[in-house]
Every structure is written in C-alpha cells, then in structure tokens.
Amino acid sequence: MSNESLNNYLFTAKYRPKKLDDIVLLDRIRNEFIGGDIKQNYIFLGPAGCGKTSLAKILANDTTYLYINVSDESSVDVIRTKISEFCLSMPIVSSSTNMKVVILDEMDGASDQFYKALRGAIEKFTENANIRFIGTCNYINKIPDPIQDRFMCINFVPATKKEERELLNKYAHHIIKICKELNIVITKDAIIEFVKKNFPSMRSMISKLQTFYDKGIKNISIDDIKILNYSFVDVFDLIFNNTNPIENYKVIVSQYADKVDDVLYSLGIDLPNYIKDNYPNMVNKIPQIIIEVANYQSQRYQVIDPIISLLACVFKIQKIINSR
C-alpha cells in the first residue's frame, strides 16, 4: 500500500485481524479455539482493545451470525425481535457450518430487564446444538451471576507473571512487524516502553503508531514514546491546567459521558505515572489521589448518573493537587 493511501486509512481498521492466525492471544486462549470450534457459550472479558470483539467475529466468520452492540441496543425488544427471530429463522446465506452465533458486544452495558430476558433466550435457544452466544465485556462484575453461569468466561488479562511476559513479548513482536511494514524504525528501549505503557490494548498501540506515522516520525525513540503514554492525557492535562469548573464540566460531559468507567480506571492506573513523569514535585499526593479514585470507583454503581461520579472525582483530584 502506498504512503498516500495509508494516509487515508485508519490503522486500527487496516490491521484488524481477519483470521485466528492474525490475532495476538495468550496460548491458553488460542488453544481453546484451535480448529475454530465454538464448543459452548463464551464471555470474553478484559480491558478495551485487547482483541475480544475481533476474536468473537473471527470465530463467527464461518457461521451465520448476528452482531449486537448491547451498549446501543439493550431493550427487551432486542431479545424478543432481533435475537429470537434470528435464532428461529432459516439461514439466508449459506456458511461452511450450520451453526448460528449471536455476538453480544459490550454486554456489561445492558439493563437488568435485558439480562432477565437474555437468560430466558439462552435457556430456550441453546437447547439447539447449533446456536451459540458469544459476549464481550470490560467489567465482568456488572454482569449478573445467573448470566455468567451460562457462559464459559475467558479472561484476556494475563493471570500470572509468566503469562504477562508471554503476551508482552507477543505484542512487541507484532508492533515491530507493523513498524517494518510502515518503514518505521523503533529503538529497543522505545518498543519496550511503548508496549508496557499501552498494555494490554493492542488497539491503543496501533492507533498511536498512526499518530507517529501521520506526524512523519519514522525514527521513534523513547522520548517520542513518553509524549503519547496516556490514553486520557487530555483529561490529566485538564486536571492540572484548567481551574475553571464550568469549562471542566463542559469538556467532561461532552467528551467522556460514555467512557466513565475507562476514565476512572485510567485515573487510578495511569494518572500516578503521569504525575511522576510531569509533576515530580507532587508525587507525595499520589496516595491520597489513589484513595479518592478508589472511593469513586466503588460508588460508581450506586449513582443514578455515572458522569456525576467522574466529575466529582476530577474536582476532588484538583482540590488535592491544589492543596498545600
């Protein structure tokens, strides 16, 4: 592909895996699907960008499948119409198998009513050996136990240090391969820093590679990596540089209302590193910030409007960093 066409291409789309051999997975996950078999219902769980949806679509590719983003379609009618009609209908397009698969993407964003109806649908339709459900989620604790019990839950997060090293190594090799294709040279210390800081989101890594490419940076050093370390760096910059509460409110509500869980997670995990890198004189405030973020994360599921939790957390962190 020419440089001109690459400039008009979204890298996360260009490098989205199309088959099982393309996707970077832990061996224990890959071994579960050798041959592409969908043995039972699955929930793929883990943070954003680690390949859950890609794997679900790859497995369903040789079947007749229905894709539903549950965050957008979580009404009971979706169960009664789309899912039920799909499971009961005859396939219009022939596939290499007679199996039908329902992909429930972001299923941790569903309502209680949706879960209750889904439980009945699973009971009804999985009696048919040719129908399977595959769900994806970032936060398994938001899915009721009676739903989880009807799936095999596969965690994409490394369970041991050995698995973490395995996946970090695979990610590094994959990014190096893409860099070679893009004629980008990346130093050894830079690739290590790049993968560690964006781990385990392959999507984030590829997106940031496009940022380098679009800026014409073809030789990436560790100093270049430090500029793009954080997924929500604009929120962190806002916390430290914008003391106008009205402006903060406008930015957060308009840009992050649908990303509350991800931003709260980043405030607990990434913000301390951001402070160490950019405001070393405030390192002593990190423990207090982490405690406050943990409090707001725990309250997140008890509030009517989750964006209020995020706003309150941001304002509280600003209060901490501005205190003497």
Same domain, 147 and 31: yes
**Quick one: pLDDT at residue 94?**
53
Same domain, 34 and 142: yes
Three-state DSSP string of 161-195: HHHHHHHHHHHHHHHHHHHHHCCCEECHHHHHHHH
- Give the largest Cα separation in the chain, rounded: 68
Mean pLDDT, the chain, whole residue set = 88
Asked whether residue 118 is domain-assigned, the answer is yes
**Quick one: pLDDT at residue 262?**
79
Q: Look up the domain containing 72 and give its range.
A: 27-155
* Report for 38-47, 215-224, 243-252: range of highest mean pLDDT: 38-47
Chain-centroid distance of CA 242 in Å reads: 28
Whether residue 228 is predicted with pLDDT greater than 70 in this model: the reply is no
For the sheet with 42-45, list strands across it.
64-69, 100-105, 131-137, 42-45, 152-155
Using one digit for the tens of pLDDT, what is the confidence trace for 85-143? 999 886 655 555 688 999 999 999 888 899 999 999 999 998 777 899 999 999 899 99
Same domain, 124 and 191: no
**Quick one: pLDDT at residue 97?**
65
Task: Give percent of the chain with pLDDT exceeding 70.
Answer: 93
Asked whether residue 103 is domain-assigned, the answer is yes
Whole-number CA gyration radius for the chain = 22
Task: List all residues 6 or more positions away from 130 whose beta carbon is below 8 Å from its beta carbon.
Answer: 98, 99, 100
* Domain at 122, CATH number: 3.40.50.300
Same domain, 141 and 32: yes
**Count of domains for the chain:** 3
Using one digit for the tens of pLDDT, what is the confidence trace for 259-310? 788 788 889 888 998 898 889 999 999 999 999 999 888 877 677 788 888 9
